[in-house]
């Protein structure tokens, strides 16, 4: 089947899954852009997320949704066509996926993006070598099969025709698709042996009753969203993502319109995240005007912290790299903050959340010197505490002399030590000393010989 009798359904299928997750998607895009920044610094940048400009356009464009399992090799053409039509699009390549990307766009641009996807697929289907292949599936199975293809990194497009949904893929993936079809057929047979019903308890509250005859397990769940039900199926019955989606879809057919609206609301992505928190309280009042979100993506073993101002400027910190100097540089560069007090407040909150190490400290005679940021340090002596600005050496000298009655020679010594002290170097030095001491304890320990039998 070619051309005009095929209309795109791929976007239609996915918008209902993630259209409620706009805020979360924007956090994910921040992380994607942060990765690009790192690649650009290393000279390995790829135009995937679309960068800050596209991020702002998506943010201004309202609700955001996603098209998963899109062929990476076709993304440049999609991006080119989208730019011509002034449609902001961004893409994220998930860890472990080499062939596919997830494309993000505004819901209001759905029809326009549909036309771009259609155009790309139609052009590929005109190729004389017939590199594109096609299979037909029932519409009700499209969502789960799309998830299966996304999980296995198989690029697909779903197009709607008069006789059903067409799954179009490159001939290079023909063997994988044959296996996918067989495996999905087996998955559907397994799902057919699981009954899903809605029953009301004595108080009249609806319950979801699931019975898996293959495993003999039965599950009762308070009526919830489809996304949550899928998570429960994966956690308690060990279902895969596609199997959970296919099982939950069976329940959809048995719901009233009101129940269906609630059941299909919510975000699967939010349910699948190991950790996501937007409401993070506490910390310095100067940090309150910034938004902090802690997020852990699937397939990653560490969390990230996004920090955003009211103008949409943002930076992303990783708990795998808690270096205080790196965090401060990122805050200055991307949040565009120069005020030392504000930077200190942001760093303290990041420190409280575990995304930066504590400021380095050192002793000099009866004084403790703490380097907080690249331009500020604190000196403590007895009950007196003075915060000083390293960028204004003369004022810092006067403040030290007035506060502690120091001689000019001692003042110079303390400022020199503060200037030489890295924000994190003392903590690193202490850590190295601890490791060295531990190694010595092991090295000099007497080995007790046991008797041989």
- 449 found inside a domain: no
- Are residue 181 and residue 37 in the same domain, yes or no? yes
This prediction has a pTM of: 0.70
- Are residue 178 and residue 97 in the same domain, yes or no? yes
- 369 found inside a domain: yes
- Are residue 89 and residue 232 in the same domain, yes or no? no
- 308 found inside a domain: yes
- Are residue 233 and residue 114 in the same domain, yes or no? no
- 452 found inside a domain: no
- Are residue 375 and residue 338 in the same domain, yes or no? no
- Are residue 253 and residue 289 in the same domain, yes or no? no
Q: Give the model's pLDDT for residue 130.
A: 66
| Distance in angstroms (rounded) separating the CA atoms of residues 377 and 419 | 9
Q: Name the domain boundary from 328, 352, 376.
A: 352
Q: Name the domain boundary from 252, 272, 292.
A: 272
Let me know: does 92 contact 102? Beta carbons within 8 Å. Answer: yes
Q: Give the model's pLDDT for residue 16.
A: 41
- Are residue 367 and residue 398 in the same domain, yes or no? yes
Q: Give the model's pLDDT for residue 361.
A: 63
Give residues with Cβ within 8 angstroms of 5, minimum separation 6: 161, 162
**Percent of the chain, pLDDT > 90?**
27
Q: Give the model's pLDDT for residue 240.
A: 92
- 391 found inside a domain: yes
| Distance in angstroms (rounded) separating the CA atoms of residues 191 and 211 | 10
Number of independent structural domains in the chain: 4
Q: Name the domain boundary from 174, 192, 210.
A: 192
Encode 208-263 in three state secondary structure: EEEEECCCCEEEEEECCCHHHHHHHHHHHHCCCHHHHHHHHHHHHCCCCHHHHHHH
Q: Give the model's pLDDT for residue 82.
A: 93
- Are residue 146 and residue 174 in the same domain, yes or no? yes
* Ranges in the chain, pLDDT < 70: 1-21, 45-50, 128-130, 359-364, 420-453
Domain range enclosing 410: 360-442
- Are residue 45 and residue 111 in the same domain, yes or no? yes
Of 118, 90, 140, give the one whose Cα is nearest residue 3. Answer: 118
| Distance in angstroms (rounded) separating the CA atoms of residues 104 and 147 | 16
- 453 found inside a domain: no
Q: Give the model's pLDDT for residue 47.
A: 63
- Residue written as tokens 């259609």? 118
102-133 b/e with 16+ CB inside 10 Å = b? Answer: bbbbbeebbeebbebbbebbbebbeeeeeebe
- Are residue 58 and residue 188 in the same domain, yes or no? yes
- Are residue 164 and residue 258 in the same domain, yes or no? no
Q: Give the model's pLDDT for residue 202.
A: 84
- 393 found inside a domain: yes
- 135 found inside a domain: yes
- Are residue 99 and residue 203 in the same domain, yes or no? no
């Amino acid at each position: 089947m070619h051309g005009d009798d095929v209309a795109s359904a791929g976007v239609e299928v996915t918008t209902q899954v993630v259209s409620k997750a706009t805020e979360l998607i924007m956090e994910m895009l921040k992380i994607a852009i942060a990765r690009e920044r790192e690649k650009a610094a290393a000279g390995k940048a790829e135009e995937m997320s679309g960068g800050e400009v596209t991020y702002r356009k998506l943010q201004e464009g309202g609700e955001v949704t996603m098209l998963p399992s899109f062929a990476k090799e076709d993304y440049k053409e999609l991006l080119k066509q989208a730019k011509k039509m002034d449609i902001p699009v961004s893409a994220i390549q998930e860890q472990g996926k080499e062939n596919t990307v997830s494309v993000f766009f505004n819901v209001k641009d759905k029809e326009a993006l549909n036309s771009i996807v259609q155009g790309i697929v139609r052009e590929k289907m005109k190729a004389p070598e017939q590199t594109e292949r096609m299979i037909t599936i029932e519409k009700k199975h499209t969502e789960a099969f799309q998830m299966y293809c996304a999980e296995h990194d198989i690029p697909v497009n779903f197009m709607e025709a008069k006789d059903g949904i067409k799954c179009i893929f490159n001939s290079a993936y023909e063997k994988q698709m044959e296996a996918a079809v067989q495996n999905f057929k087996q998955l559907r047979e397994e799902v057919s042996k699981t009954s899903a019903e809605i029953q009301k308890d004595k108080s009249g509250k609806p319950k979801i009753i699931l019975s898996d005859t293959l495993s003999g397990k039965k599950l009762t769940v308070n009526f919830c969203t489809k996304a949550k039900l899928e998570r429960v199926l994966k956690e308690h019955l060990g279902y895969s993502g596609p199997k959970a989606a296919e099982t939950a879809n069976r329940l959809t057919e048995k719901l009233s319109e009101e129940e269906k609206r609630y059941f299909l609301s919510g975000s699967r992505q939010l349910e699948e995240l190991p950790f996501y928190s937007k409401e993070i309280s506490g910390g310095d009042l100067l940090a309150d005007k910034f938004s902090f979100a802690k997020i852990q993506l699937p397939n990653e073993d560490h969390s990230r912290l996004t920090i955003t101002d009211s103008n949409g400027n943002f930076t992303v910190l990783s708990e795998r790299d808690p270096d205080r100097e790196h965090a401060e540089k990122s805050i200055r560069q991307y949040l565009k903050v120069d005020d030392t007090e504000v930077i200190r407040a942001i760093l303290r909150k990041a420190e409280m959340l575990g995304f930066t190490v504590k400021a380095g400290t050192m002793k000099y005679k009866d004084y403790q010197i703490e380097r907080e940021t690249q331009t500020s340090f604190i000196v403590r002596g007895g009950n007196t505490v003075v915060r000083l600005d390293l960028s204004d050496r003369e004022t810092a000298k006067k403040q030290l002399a007035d506060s502690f009655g120091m001689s000019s020679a001692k003042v110079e010594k303390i400022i020199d030590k503060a200037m030489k002290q890295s924000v994190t170097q003392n903590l690193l030095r202490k850590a190295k000393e601890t490791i060295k001491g531990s190694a010595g304890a092991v090295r000099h320990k007497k080995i007790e010989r046991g008797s041989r039998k």
